[in-house]
Chain A
Amino acid sequence: MNHLFSFSRLFALLAKEMTQMMRDRITFGMMIGIPLVQLALFGFAINTDPKQLPAALVTTSQDQFTRAIVSALEVTNYYRFDYVGISAKDADELMLEGKVSFIVTIPADLSKRVLRGDEPQILIEADASDPSASSGAVSTLSTVAKQALTRALGTQSQQDSQLDIVVHRRYNPEGISQYNIVPGLLGVILQLVMVMMTAMALTREVERGTMENLLAMPATPFEIMLGKILPYLGVGAVQVIVILVAAKMVFHVPFVGSLALLISGILVFISSLVLIGYFISTVAGSQMQAMQMSFFFFLPSLMLSGFMFPFKGMPYWAQMIGEIFPLTHFLRLVRGVMLKGADLEAMRSPMLALMGFTIILVILSLARFRKTLD
């Protein structure tokens, strides 16, 4: 019989792992429960596209065009003009205090310029300290204001696009989708569950003393590793289905890209996660340690991957750190494919990055695995 690999030995390990998994009700519940709870929390409670944001209007004129633009902005439901007709200086102070998220400045000579056929300017200043909050509001601005102006001009509608809206925001161009969060959650949930569960699964063997037995029997490191990893890939697949179905049915996230591309991306991503978990388990001495190490990995990757905060909005060094997390690349991939309909050509670099992680992690894990108890 082959000393290095045998399917019957792998089958033995897989069958054992599955039976244990099914018998552990709490863990089994967690596999389905975590995605659902997180989806509910992040999907419903956290709103990165807030409406009715407080705004200040700096203007001295009360002509029909100004009124048309202001009321059109209010109709979008993004802006709530709490302060109207105040000075620029007062408005600045309000923003400093966080009382308004936007300052809309309409010049006094707006109507004159419109009627003359010049290109009038409107200035929108957005509070960039909470950049994701303002993105939706800013994105609607241009169309809405132009339409309002056109309507106000009535018959002279040939001049409809003569409005220059200057937006001041020091903010990333990427995070402007209200559907950003749910595809991102796919990555975050997979990461949370996969890394932690795999890390604990192997550590449990060590902690309960069954590792000693396993090593005394003729199972090779590669078989033991596969025996641990494959069942959790299966768990990941179930979670992916749960999340994708929920994204479609509950959150109505559009899916414009290729499902096959998304699934291959997910597969590579999950492999890297399970391997990270496996690697942690070769370092950790107890399940508690494995749990702590998983969180030590989980939190920075959550913060720096672009899930919580727009990636391009972070300083350069933070972006560099963010690049070392598979989640970062997966988020680019999942958002690109689901929302933008990107093809493999466009998604080549995140895909390659994920594959790179996986290969490095396979090597690391095999190197870390101990054939003996030394």
Chain B
Amino acid sequence: MKAIDVRNLVKRFGDKTVVDNVTLSVEEGEISGFLGPNGSGKTTTIRVMCGLLTPDAGEGSVLGYDLHADQLKIKRQVGYMTQKFSFYTDLTIEENLYFVARLYGLSPARTYVRDTLDKLGLTSRRHQLAGLLSGGWKQRLALAACIMHKPKLLLLDEPTAGVDPKARREFWDEIHDLAAGGMTVMVSTHYMDEAERCHRINYIAYGKLLTSGTVDEVVAQAGLHTFILSGKGAQSASRMLQAENGVDQIAPFGNSLHVVGKNKALLETAVNKASHQFDVRCEPGQTTLEDVFIQYMSGSTDNMAEPELEGK
């Protein structure tokens, strides 16, 4: 059985189609990354899958429960961590956890709360007000609260926004632990390094699912070619390459330049021209996930934009 299996999901707000015909499946025990630019419909898709929003069209099941008929059953077995911290800032860590434990009918609540505090290293801070915690600790509390009832599916909406690298690393270790224990995880993110930690990734832009697969598959599917230019003339070469055919992206990385294009022959010609004109060394490079995503982003139209702007 697949943990998530939804077909042709559509969600509209007014005349804006925020989720446009998305078909998505996630295997049990898998960590599935959900990527896409801001406002691309990631949050809405996640909300549909945890029963918070009713889709306008499409069907499917989450944990074997029907998306339309069994929203309450889905809620009971899904842990959903919202993008914005959404626990009670005027309650302490412990009080927030007690609230959640009682709401899920976890009995005895005391044991569940104590174990969860222990597991996530929150015991020493349990009497602190949630509102006074730093970003990393808030995130930890939110994670604690949504895994306490041992959900089968964990939906995380940009969980690591504004969290320092060490806390992020620890967070991801925790996620991998949970997945190893059989929990299915779906996580949305903007960070490429996080995307690379997922078993599979799905890329959504402006409501449409553009690609899914493992990181390698997604990179391969994109069919991009990359050259790395390094040397003193990189700056000047960058200016010249912008006007060349076949060059889709130029991104400086320290002293070197990533030049990415879809058409290998055109790209090669342009890069060779640059290496003749300027003082740069040119070698074929590895296309990164970021290159792929930027390519997808520049290629899709913004469905939220006003119609008259879209025509331009």
Contacts and interface: CB of A to CB of B under 8 A. Distances in A.
B84 A15 contact: no
A175 B55 CA distance: 58
B7 interface: no
Which 8 A-B pairs rank lowest in CB-CB distance, beginning with the nearest?
A12-B102, A213-B86, A216-B80, A209-B86, A12-B103, A16-B99, A209-B84, A218-B76
Contacts of A213: 80, 82, 86-87
A373 B53 contact: yes
Interface stretch (B44-52, B211-219, B248-256, B299-307): B44-52
Contacts of B89: 208
Contacts of A215: 52
B238 interface: no
Contacts of A116: none
Nearest to B85: A209
Interface of B: 47, 50-54, 71-73, 75-76, 78, 80, 82, 84-91, 95, 98-105, 107
Contacts of B73: 3
A215 B72 CA distance: 10
Contacts, number: 85
Given A19-B95, A372-B53, A374-B54, A212 B86 contact: yes
Contacts of A6: 105
A217 interface: yes
A87 interface: no
A20 interface: yes
Contacts of B71: 371-372
A218 B84 contact: no
Given A9-B103, A373-B53, 19 more contacts: A3-B72, A8-B102, A9-B105, A12-B98, A13-B103, A15-B102, A16-B88, A16-B95, A209-B85, A209-B86, A212-B82, A212-B86, A216-B52, A216-B75, A216-B78, A216-B82, A371-B71, A374-B53, A374-B54
B236 to A, nearest CB: 49
B87 A210 contact: yes
Contacts of B86: 208-213
Contacts of A20: 88, 90-91
A44 interface: no
A23 interface: yes
B9 to A, nearest CB: 14
A42 interface: no
A218 B72 contact: yes
Contact of A16 (B75, B91, B104, B107): B91
A24 interface: yes
A209 B103 CA distance: 18
A11 interface: yes
B99 A218 contact: no
Given A19-B95, A209-B84, A213-B87, A373 B103 contact: no
A344 interface: no
B187 to A, nearest CB: 16
Contacts of A363: none
Contacts of A11: 102
A210 B80 CA distance: 12
A1 B98 CA distance: 19
A123 to B, nearest CB: 66
B104 A217 contact: yes
For chain A, the bracket of interface size reads 20 to 34
Contact of B75 (A23, A208, A210, A217): A217
A219 interface: yes
Nearest to B78: A216
Contact of B99 (A12, A208, A212, A374): A12
Contacts of A15: 98-99, 102
B103 A218 contact: yes
B105 A212 contact: no
Contacts of B88: 16, 20, 208, 210
B145 to A, nearest CB: 8
B76 to A, nearest CB: 5
A24 B129 CA distance: 13
17 contacts: A8-B107, A12-B100, A208-B88, A209-B82, A211-B86, A212-B84, A213-B82, A216-B50, A216-B78, A216-B80, A217-B103, A217-B104, A218-B105, A220-B72, A372-B52, A373-B47, A373-B53
A2 to B, nearest CB: 10
Contacts of B90: 20, 23-24
A16 B102 CA distance: 10
A8 B51 contact: no
The residue among A11, A213, A371, A373 with the most chain B CB atoms within 10 A of its own CB is A213
Contacts of B100: 12, 217
A13 B100 CA distance: 9
Interface string A190-225: 000000000000000000111111011111100000
Contacts of A3: 72-73
A209 B72 CA distance: 20
Contacts of A9: 102-103, 105
Nearest to B91: A19
The residue among A9, A20, A212, A372 with the most chain B CB atoms within 10 A of its own CB is A212
B87 A212 contact: no
A15 B51 CA distance: 25
Contacts of A13: 99, 103
A9 B88 CA distance: 17
Interface in A141-184: none
A219 B72 CA distance: 9
A334 B51 CA distance: 47
Contact of A1 (B51, B52, B99, B105): B105
A212 B81 CA distance: 10
Contact of B104 (A212, A218, A220, A371): A218
Nearest to A373: B52
